[in-house]
Amino acid sequence: MKVSGFSHITLQVRDLKTSLEFYHGILGMNLRHHGRLDAYLEWGSAWVCLVERTEAGQQPGGFAGMDHVAFYIAEDDFKEAVAILNKHQVEIVRGPVQRGTGWSVNFLDPDGIQLELHTSTLDERMEVWV
């Protein structure tokens, strides 16, 4: 697979307002989008997504914490990467699916940690995120 770098991390948070006070207010991350239950922040070349989860919407294994880690892959290499995941019977939990202007596939590592391959940048995501 021709992954070219880190894309983003998505964190489940208990209270979006409190988390924004920390990530934006204290750490100084650049706020790019603030929705009702999510926020996108930029920190250097990486982006961080905060998602407020209710107990019913939480990921297995925990309430707050890491939801998934995403790695950037060129769109030209995306289908081949998905084929490799399928060939090795890696458990795919979402996708492949078009999200915004890019493609994503989420899958689990042997310990159940969710990883994502994603083909768009934060600027491209923000162009279509409402």
| Active-site annotation, residues | 116
Nearest to 69 by CA among 122, 113, 29: 113
Nearest to 80 by CA among 60, 105, 56, 43: 105
DSSP track, 23-76? IIIIS-PEEEEE-SSEEEEEETTEEEEEEE--GGGPPTT-SSEEEEEEEEE-HH
Going 20 to 24 to 29 to 32, the CA torsion angle's sign is positive
